[in-house]
Amino acid sequence: MRTSRAPFTIERLDHVLLIVSGMAECVRFYEDVLGCVVESRMPQYGMVELRAGSSHLDLVDVAMSKVSGRDRPSREAATWITSRCA
């Protein structure tokens, strides 16, 4: 258990990027359960941009193993996030 306090206070997080598996299910979860709104879809990057109030959230499909020459995390790395979307 943490006993010391951070030297700062987080007031807001914005532009969070989540690596997901099962994009359609995750988008449905964020829209239907959390009330997010899809702002744009970028299939060439395997990405969906969502708005959550004033916050920006990107979902990136782990199935897109390489985009722009960069390796994506493994499916196992995304499982802990996506298991809640299905």
- What are the Cα distances from residue 43, in Å, to 4, 13, 26, 64? 44, 25, 15, 9
pLDDT at 9: 80
pLDDT at 82: 46
Q: 16-63+74-82, what's its fold?
A: 2,3-Dihydroxybiphenyl 1,2-Dioxygenase; domain 1 (3.10.180)
- Is residue 46 over pLDDT 80? yes
pLDDT at 64: 76
- In terms of pLDDT, which residue wins out, 16 or 79? 16
User: Where does residue 6 rank: exposed (0-12), middle (13-18), buried (19+ CB within 10 A)?
Assistant: exposed
Q: Compute the distance between CA of residue 37 and CA of residue 42 in angstroms, rounded to an integer.
A: 15
Task: Name the residue among 77, 76, 75, 45 with its Cα closest to residue 59.
Answer: 45
Domain boundaries defined on the chain: 16-63+74-82
Residue 75, Cβ neighbours under 10 Å: how many?
13
- Reported as a single tens digit per residue, the pLDDT across 21-39 is 889 999 999 999 999 999 9
Token pair of 66 as six digits: 């390489």
